Structure 1
Amino acid sequence: MSLDKLKLSKPLVAAMTDAGFLTPKEVQLKTMSRILGGQDVIAVGPEGIGKTTTYVLATLMKLKYAFEEAPRALILVPDAEHVAEVIAQFNLLNRNKTFRIAGIDSSGSIDAQMNELTDGVDIIVAVPDRARALYLKLALNTNKIQMFIVDNAELIVKKGLQLPVVELANSAQKSQHIIFTEVLHDKLNHMLNPFMKFPAVIEIQELGEKEAEVHQQLLYQVPNFRTKLNLLTLLLGDAEVFDKVVVFVNTKLTAQTVYKNFNHVNEGEISIYRPLFFDDAGFDDIQDFKNIAEARVLIVANEGLQDLDISGIPFVIHMELPEQKETLIKRIVKHGDEEVVAITFSTDIELIEVRKIEHAVGELMQVMDLPDDLKVVDPASAKTKKKKTTEEEDEASDRGAAFHEKKASNVKNYNYSAGTKAKMTYKNKKGLS
């Protein structure tokens, strides 16, 4: 497919060709006309699909000429590394060097940055907190901003930089808003809702090549760690289904927290792999856990963990995502005919890592409905409440403009509880009717 489909100027097409971009990316085909048309856009897709190139091209195309009295494009990114990457992409495609582009991060002298902005720039690439500081010092004039762009928005939320983004967006009242993110979740929507104007939400799902078969993967999305504890207790309360389970967490202290959260009605039923404290039930050898029928749940910390043979264990739960996605992937790859159900718990912030895992294995996790009797902890009030009823969800359906409905492929057409679903899977594995 030709670059002509993007309807770019001849100089930009020539710059793209010289840079080795011979065909347009899917994200460019789906978003470019909307961006050039002035619509607010939220583009959701994994790393490496061409998001940065898309908005760099759109910015150079829309601004057309340089040297006005105030900046006309403000691009917010999570950190100095991303600032450098975006500036490099502008330098690659801005062949005539007509635009004055400033890179602003938190490590530079704020006085020098103030002088640079007051001397005149057309495009600013900045981290949110430093951009806000310059705005409050009256060095950053947002009155002429035409394009307000947030890249890697999910990382900005993860860093807790939502307030500077919202304040700057609201100050640039006449601008078009363009958001690029790997995931879209409630916390991100909460940041976007105050300033997005009926955006087009465009999702790009590009999975990597499937190089190995993996076990069945189930995903539970929950708001916080406390709710994870409640969900784990609820699921593992069904001893008939979950008769042998390994639960992975990241630290030994977390492993102890999870252990103490259980009621421990049956002696030796719940244990820790190599516990920190002698009075906690535990095993130093996983083979001992496998051999003892009464030992049903083993909590394992990733901290300092060497290779662990979890073969023969039918349920593997990742209550926390390990720092390296390869750690989890290694545990879910199929070996022989063994059938395992791999369950992952994820908060909104952890969804970034979930998407990276899905992209790496070339397969999406199956999103599960939360059990009706799950006690969901409200992080704002720290009070425990049950999952919303259908009527309550209907009342809350009038959400912000950034909210979008699930794709048809993600909508559930069954009404099984988590326990029933797991039980059906487990019985099928054992050849039971």
Structure 2
Amino acid sequence: MSFASLGLPAPLLNALSSQGLLQPTPVQAAAIPAALQGRDVLAQAPTGSGKTLAFGLPLLAQYQAKSTRQPAALVLLPTRELAAQVGEQLHALALAQGSKLKLVVAYGGVAINPQLMALRGGADIVVATPGRLLDLVEHNGLALGRLQTLVLDEADRLLDMGFAAELQRILALLPAQRQTLLFSATFPDDVNTLAAQWLRDPLRIQVAGADQVAPAITQRTMLVDEERRTALLIQLLKQEDWAQLLVFIGTHRLADKLAVRLQQAGISAAALHGELSQGRRSQTLAGFKAGHLRVLLATDVAARGIDIAELPAVLNYDLPRSATDYQHRIGRTGRAGASGLAISFVTPASEAHFRLIEKRQGQRVARETLEGFAPQAPAPLNAAGQHDGKGGIKGKRMSKKDKLRAAAAQAAGTAGQDDGE
């Protein structure tokens, strides 16, 4: 199948060809014809499957230089980096097809006045994060009453990051008669609830493997004591030939600290997190994409906008809080059919947590140890005083079964004390 068979106009087909894009991915092949017909679309597809063009190409085809003060299309995304990335991709295609379409990208963390200036005279397509979009509305920078198409991209992340209230405020500003395209890598209950409220008789698309790890990604797990993770990371960087490595860190303070440690070891590295200014974040990410940095140490929020076509490897220095986050993280590598490597450091304390991640993704990952780094610390006991290998996906809360076991053990102990009195 080719893009030409999907009903896209010739200038846009030429723009795709100039960028070496000749064949659509499965989610693009399914979503584009329906979107061009004006139908609502509800699509589940894994990270790296081509969701941006699945909604972006219909927008570029439908809304050509029709600027009014009220945009024809709105794309909502969870992070600044992702908004900037989508905006760049759509702008490049618009230029390549010779379009006069006006596209404005808006996100927080930077001054609002330049974005208000950019919206003077209107815009065809606005790409924005929810909070900044509402700021622009309050400043009379744009109105949404005549919006024709709404795109919710990374819907699961929008909700995970606490944008539910903002989305409801935005919904109240939108016309009832509109087209809505919703894309998400996963479909937990809150995303299904959002879809039921926002979409009308949508075409449902589920790309095969959307709930599983991409087969092109090799997963490895390395056992190590918590305090030796930095030394192990440095050792791996010395012995492996990774041109680039994206490392996921739990906190911005640890990311900054680890960046200094790697720099002291002669490894070019930088931290990327939400506490940095937008200018600093953009500069750091650009340096990594250009290959000036070998290692990028990123928190989950900052890493959502990272899209590097041939990123060879990612590493979980800290494990993610959920199996869904794990899928998003390792999906940064192995994109667009390329092979990738995902390594996770597992400490004695996090072993139970990782087992549940494995269970949720339906895949067991073999445990490895590097010579000289085998863990020495024992696995922690649960409330019942057992090494039972169970834990909670989010945080360290006891599971229901663990609570029952603990209660039973406590009851048995109390009964024993009573018998001895």
Which letter does structure 2 place at the counterpart of 1:131? L
Q: How much has 1:157 moved relative to structure 2? A: 2.5
Show the counterpart of 1:201: 204
Question: For structure 1, which runs of at least 5 residues remain unmatched after alignment?
Answer: 216-245, 249-272, 274-299, 308-320, 330-343, 387-433
Map residues 284-303 of structure 1 onto 2, 5 A cutoff.
none
How many angstroms apart in 2 are the aligned matches of 1:154 and 1:83? 15
**Residue 87 of structure 2 contacts residue 103 of structure 2 at CA under 8 Å; is this kept in 1?**
yes
Match runs of 1:332-343 below 5 Å: none
For 2:156 and 2:173, the matched residues in 1 are separated by 22
- Residues 60-99 of structure 1 correspond to what in structure 2 (within 5 A)? 60-94=60-94, 95-99=97-101
Q: Displacement of 1:151 after TM fit? A: 1.8
> Which residue identity does 1:71 align to in structure 2?
P
Note if 1:157 corresponds to 2:159.
yes
**Cα 1:194–1:167 shift into 2, 3 Å:** farther
Which amino acid is 2:54 matched to?
T
Aligned to 2:135: 133
Structure 1 match to 2:354: none
Listed one character per residue, the Cα deviations across residues 338-392 of structure 1 (whole Å, up to 9, x for unaligned) are xxxxxx9836555534766998579x965499xxxx999999xx99989xxxxxx
* Equivalent residue number for residue 407 of structure 1: none
Q: Does 1:2 align with 2:2?
A: yes
For residue 197 of structure 2, give the secondary structure of its aligned residue in structure 1: coil
Partner of 1:4, secondary structure, is helix
> Out of 128, 143, 153, which is 2:145 matched to?
143
Aligned to 1:50: 50
Alignment match, 1:20: 20
Q: Partner of 1:194: helix, strand, or coil? A: helix
Q: Residues 248-397 of structure 1 correspond to what in structure 2 (within 5 A)? A: 304=230, 306=232, 327=315, 346=322, 349=325, 352-353=328-329, 367=360
CA separation of 1:384 and 1:196: change in aligned 2, threshold 3 A = farther
Separation of aligned partners in 1, 2:65 and 2:121: 17
Give how far 1:142 is off.
0.4
Alignment TM-score, normalising by the size of structure 2: 0.54
Give the deviation of 1:8 after TM superposition. 0.7
Deviations 1:288-340 (A, max 9, x none): xxxxxxxxxxxx68865748xxxxxxxxxxxxx986985569xxxxxxxxxxx
Take 2:360 and 2:101, find their aligned partners in 1: how far apart are those partners?
Answer: 45
Looking at structure 2, the residues matched to 130 and 213 of structure 1 have their Cα atoms a distance apart, in angstroms, of: 37
Q: Return the offset for 1:56.
A: 1.5
1:110 matches 2:112: yes
**For 2:361 and 2:49, how far apart are their aligned partners in 1?**
27
1:183 aligns with 2:159: no
Structure 1 stretch displaced more, 117-126 or 188-197: 188-197
How far did residue 63 of structure 1 move? Answer: 2.2
How big is each residue's C-alpha offset from its partner over 1:135-162, in whole Å with a ceiling of 9 and x where there is no partner?
Answer: 2333221011111112222332332222
Change (3 A) 1:352 1:188: farther
Q: Tell me if structure 2 keeps the 8 A contact 1:187–1:348.
A: no
Matching residue of 1:30: 30
Kindly name which structure, 1 or 2, has the bigger radius of gyration based on alpha carbons. Answer: 1
Question: Structure 1 357/184 Cα, relative in aligned 2: closer, same or farther at 3 Å?
Answer: farther
- SS at 1:197's partner residue? coil
Give, in whole Å, the separation in 2 of the partners of 1:21 and 1:80.
Answer: 26
Determine the C-alpha separation between the residues in 2 that align with 1:155 and 1:209. 23
Which amino acid is 1:196 matched to?
L
**SS of equivalent residue, structure 2 residue 105:** strand
The secondary structure found in structure 2 opposite 1:184 is coil
Q: What amino acid is aligned across from residue 189 of structure 1 in structure 2?
A: N
Q: 1:18 to 1:137 in 2, by over 3 A?
A: same
Q: CA deviation at 1:117?
A: 2.2
Is 2:63–2:101's contact at 8 Å kept on the other side of the alignment? no
Report deviation, 1:18.
Answer: 1.3
Structure 1 residues 77 and 39, CA gap change in structure 2 (3 angstroms): same
Q: Distance in 2 between matches of 1:182 and 1:17?
A: 27
Structure 1 210/128 Cα, relative in aligned 2: closer, same or farther at 3 Å?
A: closer
> For this pair of structures, how many residues does the alignment match?
276
Structure 2 unaligned blocks of 5 or more: 234-247, 251-296, 298-312, 343-356, 363-389, 402-421
Task: Report the secondary structure of 1:119's partner residue.
Answer: coil
AA in 2 matched with 1:175:
R
Deviation readout 1:14-65 (Å, 9 max, x if unpaired):
1111121111221111111221222222222223222112222110122245
Residues 378 and 384 of structure 1 are in contact (CA less than 8 Å); yes or no, is this contact kept in structure 2? no
Structure 2 counterpart of 1:124, one-letter code: V
Q: Would the alpha carbon gap of residues 302 and 162 (structure 1) be closer, same or farther in structure 2, given more than 3 Å must change?
A: farther
User: Aligned partners of 1:327, 1:68: CA distance in 2, in Å?
Assistant: 46
Q: State the distance in 2 between where 1:145 and 1:5 align.
A: 28
The answer on whether the counterparts of 1:377 and 1:385 sit within 8 Å (CA) in structure 2 is no
Identity of aligned residues (%): 22
Kept in 2, the 8 Å contact 1:103–1:125? The answer is yes
Structure-1 separation of matches of 2:113 and 2:316: 46
